[in-house]
Amino acid sequence: MIGVTSSMPTVTMIGGGQLARMTHQAAIALGQCLRVLASSRADPAAQVSADVVLGSHDELADLRRAAEGAVALTFDHEGVPLAHLQALEAEGVAVRPPSAALHFAQDKLAMRVRLAELGLPVPDFAELTDTREDARARFIEFGQTHGWAIVLKAIRGGYDGRGVWLLDNRDEAVTVFDEQFGAGVGLIAEQKVAMRRELSAMIGRSPYGQGAAWPVVETIQRKGQCAVVLAPAPDLSDDVAEQAQQMALRLADALGVVGVMAMELFETVDGELLVNELAMRPHNSGHWTMDGAVTSQFEQHLRAVLDYPLGDTAARAPVVVMANILGADTAPEMSMDERLHHLLARMPDAKVHLYGKGERPDRKVGHVNIVGGEADTPATVRERAERAAHWMSHAEWTDGWDAHA
C-alpha cells in the first residue's frame, strides 16, 4: 500500500460498502482520507480510498490494524462483535459510537427494552429466548392476543428486510418460528402495526453533546427495503415532526450516541408515532442530504466522530426526493455507462450516485436525488426521481419516452 501522510486526522470506518464510499467523499472535502477496513479491493469504498486495510470485521487483530494511528473508529454497518469493540476501547481506541450505544443498534431486543424503559413508544413485543417449549408457548399466546397480525424478527444480524417475517396466520407463523428457533436464531415477536406510512428522523450528535436534526422524512419500502425517500415527509404536522426529532435527539443523548443516527418510525393509522429501528451510522433515509441539505449526513458523521461543531441541517429546497437504483430481475443489455449517458441527457438536474457495485436483483447499486424547484410538489419530484432510478436499473422509461422518436 502507498502510505498516506496528512496533517489532518485519520478516521477509520469499518466496512467498505457504499456508506463508507460516500463518507470518504465527504472526508476529501475536510482534507482527510477515510481509512476503510474492507474485505476486498473491489468493495465500493476500497475502490476509491487510498488508505485501505484488507481484513475482516470479525477479527480483532484486523480491527487493531485498522485503528492504529486513527483519531476515531466508526462503522458503515452494525456487524462488528461488541466484545471486540470493548477490547479496543480498553486499549484506548475512540470507538464512535461507543460500544455501550452501538449495542442497542445491534440487538433488537435490548433496543426495544431500553426504549420502553425510556418511555418511548414502541410496538408491543415479546421476547422468545427461553427454552423451546416456553418460547413457543409465549409466541402462540402473543399471536392469539394480536389475532396473528404479528412480525417475527431476528434479534441480531437482520438488514434490508432480512431477518424480518411479516405473518398473518397461525400455521405460517408457527412454521416460521419452528424453523428459525430450530436454526438457533434469537427471536422477538412484535405486533404488526397498522400504519399510515414509515418515517425516519435522522440526527447527528457529537461527544461534546451537540445535537442537530434534519427534517423528518417519509420512507417508502419495497420488498422489505427502502426504495424512495421524500424529504420532508409530506403533510406531516410541525408538532409531530418536532416530536420525532426530539425523540431521536433525546434518545441519542440517553444512549451516548456519537455520529449520525436514524430513528425509523411508524406513523400509525391513528397518527401516533412508534419507534421501529435504530441505525447508528449513515443511513439510506439520509442519502437525500447529499444534494438536498446544507450538510450531508456523511459530512455530519465525520464532524460528529471528530467532535467538530456540527453543520447546518436545513433543506436546500421545499421538496427533495431520493430514489434507490435497485438491480433489475434481469440486468439490461445496455451498459450502466450508456444508461447514465442517456439519463444525464434527458434529466440535467438528476444527481446520480453510483456505488461501483455489480448488478443483482434488488441490490442497492446507487441512488438518484432530485432537488425540487419552485413549481414542484412532492408528487412531481417523486415521479422524476423514480423515473430516473428505474431508467438506471431497467433501461426503460416509465413514461414511454423515446430519445430517438
Which residues make up the interface to ligand ADP (CB under 6 A)? 123, 151, 153, 158-161, 164, 190, 192-193, 198, 221, 224, 264, 276-277
Q: Where are the alpha helices (H) located in 30-94, listed in sequence order?
A: 60-67, 82-90
Q: Which three cell numbers stand for residue 131?
A: 427454552
- The distance of closest approach from Cβ of residue 262 to ligand ADP in the complex, given in angstroms and rounded to an integer, is 10
- Residue 153 or 351: which CB sits closer to ligand ADP? 153
**How many CA atoms within 13 Å lie on the side-chain side of 62?**
17
Residue (of 402, 376, 386) closest to 323 by Cα position: 386
- Residue 210 or 221: which CB sits closer to ligand ADP? 221
- Residue 70 or 227: which CB sits closer to ligand ADP? 227
Rounded to the nearest 5 percent, the helix, strand and coil shares of the chain are: 35, 25, 40
Q: Which three cell numbers stand for residue 225?
A: 427495503
- The distance of closest approach from Cβ of residue 348 to ligand ADP in the complex, given in angstroms and rounded to an integer, is 33
Judge whether 275 and 245 are in contact, CB under 8 Å: no
- The distance of closest approach from Cβ of residue 162 to ligand ADP in the complex, given in angstroms and rounded to an integer, is 6
As annotated, the binding site for ATP includes 108, 153, 190-193, 198, 276-277
- Residue 151 or 365: which CB sits closer to ligand ADP? 151
- The distance of closest approach from Cβ of residue 161 to ligand ADP in the complex, given in angstroms and rounded to an integer, is 5
- The distance of closest approach from Cβ of residue 357 to ligand ADP in the complex, given in angstroms and rounded to an integer, is 19
- Residue 149 or 347: which CB sits closer to ligand ADP? 149
Judge whether 255 and 115 are in contact, CB under 8 Å: no
- Residue 10 or 180: which CB sits closer to ligand ADP? 180
CB atoms within 10 A of CB 148: 18
- Residue 32 or 276: which CB sits closer to ligand ADP? 276
Q: Where are the alpha helices (H) located in 1-94, listed in sequence order?
A: 18-29, 60-67, 82-90
Q: Burial letters for 205-223: b for 16+ Cβ neighbours within 10 Å, e otherwise?
A: bbbeeebbbbbbbbbbeee
- The distance of closest approach from Cβ of residue 360 to ligand ADP in the complex, given in angstroms and rounded to an integer, is 18
DSSP labels, 196-257:
EEEEEEEEEE-TT--EEEPPPEEEEEETTEEEEEEESPTT--HHHHHHHHHHHHHHHHHHT-
- Residue 159 or 308: which CB sits closer to ligand ADP? 159
Q: Where are the alpha helices (H) located in 40-169, listed in sequence order?
A: 60-67, 82-90, 99-106, 108-117, 132-145
Strands 51-54 and 273-279: unpaired
User: How distant, in Å, are the alpha carbons of 136, 187, 221, 242, 374 from that of 110?
Assistant: 20, 12, 25, 26, 45
Judge whether 394 and 332 are in contact, CB under 8 Å: yes
- The distance of closest approach from Cβ of residue 138 to ligand ADP in the complex, given in angstroms and rounded to an integer, is 17
- The distance of closest approach from Cβ of residue 120 to ligand ADP in the complex, given in angstroms and rounded to an integer, is 15
- Residue 43 or 78: which CB sits closer to ligand ADP? 78
* CB burial of residue 263 (10 Å; 0-12, 13-18, 19+): buried
- The distance of closest approach from Cβ of residue 117 to ligand ADP in the complex, given in angstroms and rounded to an integer, is 19
